[in-house]
């Protein structure tokens, strides 16, 4: 049960921190009677046990003004089981219990991210629009709707509007570019990544993703120059070498690909991806013994190696 409570707690912490840049969420326990999930939907005793476990885990008092409220922990249940309107009303009630807006906003966004109906998503995002601003409203709409690949064009429209509001926001533009790439609009994706680089030329994530899109577009020379410059300028990470290796996999130069995946492993030995990629390449080179060793390491660090080399999934 302890591991389960840690996972649930960490999800709220991650989301709250991302939005508001803080982790310490301490509020009163007066929300017991107004907790997110009704007693008919969730076992009250289990929630109480989870509350105390959470308090102990964090080293805070389980009662008093500096404790964690039960609703905060219980809010991690599967929202899809519940009536969306009732859940939203309960979150609004809970919002009034704390002077700190972070927890309630985190739960709102988590709740909205679980919705399937675009009209519902828009309705609830509109309701919090004044609190988060127009840019974030468009940002979240695009990000949430993009999970449904059948509505990717709608998501892209929201993201485009967001980039127009904050043209120098590298994070938003990069997410927009990634979604353009997933929609097979690579020319536009490359353009957006280049604009992002103009605002932050040393952003390793942007460099790697742009390199990846260039490789997928078979612009190998451009990708090589971009990624090699990152290495020279000391802004390369394990992903940079992975993309270089991937480029040579696509070109079927497995010896050079092998070298880059080895460099990727040197950068981050615990990352399962380069071990997986190296395993696939070693198979192609006929080195099955070492391929198996790398496959074992990939699995050990969290990545399964499929039977046969699937080159398009090397960078997944």
Domain contains 185: no
Question: Residue 15: which domain range?
Answer: 1-114
Domain containing 289 — which CATH number? 1.25.40.10
Higher-pLDDT residue of 148, 52: 148
Q: Which of 91, 114, 137 lies at the terminal end of a domain, its last residue?
A: 114
Number of structural domains found in the chain: 2
pLDDT band of 129, cuts 50, 70, 90: confident
Instruction: Identify the pLDDT of residue 280.
Output: 93
* Measured distance CA(58)–CA(24) in Å, rounded: 10
> Which residue is it, tokens 């990352």?
271
Residue 308 lies inside a defined structural domain of this protein: yes
Residues 101 and 212 in one domain: no
User: What is residue 181's predicted lDDT score, i.e. its pLDDT?
Assistant: 93
Residue with tokens 């009250």: 44
CA distance 227 to 243: 8
Last residue of a domain, one of 81, 114, 147: 114
Tell whether 315 and 218 lie within a shared domain: yes
Average of per-residue pLDDT across 284-296: 95
Q: Which of 114, 135, 163 is the last residue of a domain?
A: 114
Cα 30 to Cα 33: distance, rounded to the nearest angstrom: 7
**Cα(51)–Cα(314) distance, integer angstroms:** 42
DSSP secondary structure letter of residue 268: -
- In this structure, is residue 188 part of a structural domain? no
Helix (H, G, I), strand (E, B) or coil at 67: coil
- Average pLDDT, stretch 219-244? 94
Higher pLDDT, 97 or 47: 97
pTM: 0.65
pLDDT of amino acid 305 = 55
Nearest residue to 69 via CA among 93, 98, 45, 44:
98
The number of angstroms, rounded, from the C-alpha of 3 to the middle of its chain's C-alpha atoms is 21
Given pLDDT bands bounded at 50, 70 and 90, which one contains residue 59?
very low
Name the packing angle between helices 204-216 and 220-232 (round to 10°).
160
| Phi, psi (deg, nearest 5) at residue 253 | -100, 80
Per the prediction, the chain carries an average pLDDT of 74
How does pLDDT run across 8-47, given as a tens digit for each residue? 444 444 444 443 333 333 222 223 223 333 333 334 344 4
């Amino acid at each position: 049960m302890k591991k389960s409570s840690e996972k649930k707690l960490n999800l709220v912490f991650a989301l709250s921190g991302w939005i508001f840049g803080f982790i310490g969420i301490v509020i009163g326990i007066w929300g017991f009677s107004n907790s997110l999930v009704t007693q008919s939907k969730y076992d009250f005793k289990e929630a109480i046990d989870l509350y105390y476990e959470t308090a102990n885990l964090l080293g805070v008092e389980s009662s008093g003004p500096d404790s964690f409220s039960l609703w905060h922990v219980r809010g991690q249940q599967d929202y899809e089981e519940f009536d969306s309107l009732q859940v939203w009303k309960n979150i609004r009630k809970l919002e009034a219990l704390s002077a700190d807006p972070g927890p309630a906003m985190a739960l709102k966004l988590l709740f909205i991210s679980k919705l399937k109906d675009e009209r519902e998503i828009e309705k609830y995002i509109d309701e919090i629009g004044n609190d988060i601003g127009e840019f974030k409203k468009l940002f979240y709409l695009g990000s949430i709707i993009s999970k449904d690949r059948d509505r990717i064009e709608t998501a892209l429209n929201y993201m485009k509007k967001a980039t127009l509001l904050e043209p120098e926001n590298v994070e938003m533009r990069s997410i927009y570019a990634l979604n353009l790439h997933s929609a097979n609009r690579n020319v536009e994706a490359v353009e957006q990544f280049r604009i992002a680089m103009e605002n932050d030329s040393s952003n390793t994530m942007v460099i790697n993703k742009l390199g990846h899109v260039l490789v997928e577009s078979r612009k190998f020379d451009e990708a090589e120059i971009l990624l090699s410059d990152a290495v020279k300028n000391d802004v390369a990470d394990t992903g940079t070498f992975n993309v270089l290796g991937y480029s040579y996999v696509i070109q079927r130069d497995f010896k050079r690909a092998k070298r880059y995946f080895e460099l990727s492993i040197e950068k981050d030995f615990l990352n399962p991806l380069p071990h997986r990629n190296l395993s696939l390449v070693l198979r192609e080179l006929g080195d099955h013994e070492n391929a198996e060793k790398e496959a074992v390491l990939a699995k050990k660090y969290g990545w399964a190696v499929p039977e046969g080399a699937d080159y398009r999934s090397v960078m997944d």
